[in-house]
Amino acid sequence: MDEQVFKEFALTEARITGSFFDVCHPNVWNTAYWGDVCRFWGDTNWRALIGDMHDIGIDTIILSNVAFWGRPLFPGYENKIGLPLKMTCSDPLEVCAAEADRLGMKMFFGIGLRGRVSQIRDYADMRPPWPEEWFQWNTALAEAILDRFGSRTGFAGFYIPYEIDFIDYQLELYEKWIRGYLRPAIGRVPVLISPGNLGDHPNLDELPRQLERTDIQILAPQDYGGRGWDMQKDAMEFVRKNAEALTKAAPMMKNIGVSLWSNCEVFDHIPSPDGRVYNVAGPFQRIRRQMELQAPLVEKLICFQYQGIMNRHSDLVNIGRADTDILYRDYVDYLRRRTSRRRL
């Protein structure tokens, strides 16, 4: 990509500047079009993925999880957190973090909540009782990541992948784990969460107290823009609900020092034969409306996700259906057009 055009992308207000990505995602149905390939990627593939994100103006990457069904995705801490999952790339987290450092990007590391479900029980809704082992292992995972990557220039903090609904037992879990276990281990390292659509919050006036109680620094609610198929509604209905809630929440978040982002869903759901869903590229016209509606309301617009859903197709990033590359090109054309208008 032309370097001058890349630099001028910063002039485009309604754009995506952060993206999730995964080395090995626990939902093998959602990630069917990329997860099985990426597990067998080598170093050059991972570097190419991070570089491609950087080239379209993404400056922040969020690794969805650093463990897969209780197996860490990085080596070196076997006695503390267990044997790492075997992959073609022996240390993909190191490769991605080093490339992010080189390019001046920031990287969050996903920890907890889904890391150990295959050993204890299925914590899909995280209801109590919560075994002590769960808190201890996830905290050890965070300590290992902090020890390994905490001094890197691109280290941004931790991401907690559980999509909290702000109901009492979930808040109790967050408070118990973050304040009782995580904070003593990681100090004031930022913690990012991406809960469900903020328009579904039962009482937004309670949100500041809830975030202070759980000690969260960055809130990035999902806009549900990709949920039209499985929820049987117009996806933009969900996005508008989220935007209305963002408008109300923004001054409250500023008052308590919490950064407010929004998570723009760039996918569509399509059914698999067994009833679960695959994630595929959504239509750009819908995604454009999502961006333009929400970007002015938040400090940062992130997406789920570049990898496998809106990536360009190349020999090294050989993932996603054909419509993945189409969405990539539509998005880049959109950035170019907006940048050209700003120059006029």
CATH number assigned to the domain comprising residue 173: 3.20.20.80
Give ∠ CA 261-289-51 in degrees, rounded to 5: 60
**Is the CB of residue 13 less than 8 Å from the CB of residue 288?**
no
What is the pLDDT, as a whole number, of residue 231? 58
Distance of CA 54 to the CA centre of its chain: 16
Convert the pLDDT of each residue in 153-171 to its tens digit. 999 999 998 888 898 988 9
What is the pLDDT, as a whole number, of residue 134? 83
- Burial of 138: CB neighbours in 10 Å, binned 0-12, 13-18, 19+: buried
**Mean pLDDT value of segment 207-226:** 96
**Residue 144 CB contacts under 8 Å (≥ 6 apart), including other chains:** 72, 74, 76, 77, 80, 81
What is the pLDDT, as a whole number, of residue 165? 87
Convert the pLDDT of each residue in 250-305 to its tens digit. 999 999 999 999 999 999 999 889 888 899 999 999 999 999 999 999 999 999 99
Structure tokens that stand for 258 in this block = 């919490």
Average pLDDT, the chain: 90
Convert the pLDDT of each residue in 120-143 to its tens digit. 444 556 778 787 888 899 999 999
What is the pLDDT, as a whole number, of residue 181? 95
- Does the pLDDT value for residue 238 go beyond 50? yes
What is the pLDDT, as a whole number, of residue 119? 46
Q: For residue 42, is it left (φ>0), alpha (ψ between -120 and 50) or beta?
A: beta
What is the pLDDT, as a whole number, of residue 339? 75
Distance of CA 250 to the CA centre of its chain: 20
Q: Which domain holds residue 257?
A: 3-343
**Mean pLDDT value of segment 189-217:** 95
- Does the pLDDT value for residue 10 go beyond 60? no
Q: What percent of the chain has pLDDT over 70?
A: 90
**Is the CB of residue 278 less than 8 Å from the CB of residue 33?**
yes
What is the pLDDT, as a whole number, of residue 342? 59
Convert the pLDDT of each residue in 46-82 to its tens digit. 999 999 999 999 999 999 999 988 899 999 999 999 9
Number of domains in the chain: 1
Answer whether 0.75 is exceeded by the pTM. Answer: yes
